[in-house]
Amino acid sequence: MTALDPPTFPLPARYEYAGKTLAGGQGKVYVCRDKNLERQVAIKALHAIGNVAVILKEIAAHGKVKSKHVVELYEVLADASGTPYALVLEYVPGDSLQDIANLPPSFEKRLRLLYQIACGLCDIHDAQVIHRDVKPDNMKVDEDGVLKLFDMGISNLDSTTAVTTFAAGTPVYRAPELHGPPPLPVSCAADIYAFGVVAWHVLNSGKFPGPLFEVPPQSSGVPLPSLQIVVAELGAHAAILDRTLEVKPTDRPTAEDVRRALAELLTRGKRRGVFAYGSRTWELVVVNRVTQISLGALGTLSVAYNGLRFVVRAVAGDIYINNRVAAVGDELPESCVLTFGAPAFAGNRAFVAFNASQPEIVI
C-alpha cells in the first residue's frame, strides 16, 4: 500500500481521492470517495493505460458474472473517444486472505471461507467464465463477513473453447496443464486446482506440501498428503478437497461438487428428517438416532441419521424408495416417497412422504 500517490488520469467530479493507493500486478487501485453516494470505491487503472484489451476483458467478465461473492463493477471511466481507461469497483477494506493474521482461528470459520470461495466459483463458472487468478491475494472479507473475489483482468470469457498463449497467474496456484508451450487449453478445472491450493493456505495457515512448488507442480511423482492429515475434522470430506489438486484436469471435481461437500460439512448434525403418513409423523433430528416406521403387515423400515445423511438400517417386508426396492445402506433422497407393501397389495399399499431439511448456511 502506498499513501499519497494520487491518480495521474482525470477523475470525474463525483470522485475524490482518499489518500490510499493499492499496488497490484496489473496496475494500481486508487481508493476514492464517491461524493454522490457517500461511499468508498476502488478505481482500478492498468500500469499501461493503453492496454485497452485487458480492461475490456474485465468489463466483459463483470458483465457476465453476477454474484454476492464477486466485487461489483459500478462504472467504466472513458476518455472523449469512448476508450476506457479505468474501472470503478466495489471497495472492500482491509487486507486480503494472503495475510495469515486475517484467517480465523476456528476450523468452522475457515471452512466458511472456503465455502464462500466455492460459491463464488460456482457463479463464475455458471456464467462460462474462468477466473484464472484464484489466490488469497484476490480475496477479501467485507464488514458483513461476506467473502469477495476480485481481479478478473486475465479471465477467459468462454470456458467451452478457452486457450491461452500466456500462462499468467501466481506459480504455486497455476495448474499443471498451464505449464508448457502455448497454446495451452484452459478450463474451469484450472480454477478448481487453484482453489485446492487456497484450501491448503486457509486450513494449514499458508503451509504447502513440497510437490506444489515443483515446476510443473507434482512433476516428481511424489504424492501429495491428504488434507485430513493436518485437519482431522474434515473426515471423509477431505477426499474431495484432495481431488481438486489432481494433475489431470478431468479428475478434478466441479465447483458445485466442492460447494455441496462443504455445505454438508457446515450443516453436519443440523438437518431434520420428517416422515408423514396420514395424521402420523416421525421426526429424526438427533445424530446416531434410529427411527422406526412400522405399518403392521405392510412392513417396517428403520432409518438412522449419521449427521450428514439419512440411511436405511433395517428393512422388513416389501418397501420401496421412489419405486426402487429399499435395501440396508440406502441413503434417502432429500425428498422421496416410501411405498410399503408389494404391488400385489394394490389399493392397500401405504405411501409415506419423507422430506429432509437443508439448513441455510448463514454467512
User: Among all residues, which ones are annotated catalytic?
Assistant: 133
C-alpha cell at 239: 477426499
Rounded Cα distance between 184 and 163, Å, is 5
Q: Could you tell me if 332 and 356 are in contact, meaning their C-beta atoms sit under 8 angstroms apart? A: yes
What one-letter code names the amino acid at 134?
V
Rg, Å, the chain Cα set: 26
Smallest CA-to-CA distance from 273 within 294, 298, 295, 290 is with 290
3 state SS of 36: coil
Rounded Cα distance between 19 and 4, Å, is 5
Smallest CA-to-CA distance from 81 within 50, 43, 48 is with 50
Smallest CA-to-CA distance from 188 within 197, 175, 179 is with 175
Structure letter (DSSP) for residue 151: -
Cα 33 to Cα 41, 46, 70, 266: the distances in Å are 6, 20, 21, 37
What one-letter code names the amino acid at 37?
L
Q: Could you tell me if 292 and 352 are in contact, meaning their C-beta atoms sit under 8 angstroms apart? A: no
Q: Could you tell me if 299 and 315 are in contact, meaning their C-beta atoms sit under 8 angstroms apart? A: yes
What one-letter code names the amino acid at 348?
N
φ/ψ (deg, to 5) at 181: -70, 140
Rounded Cα distance between 236 and 240, Å, is 8
Rounded Cα distance between 328 and 361, Å, is 30
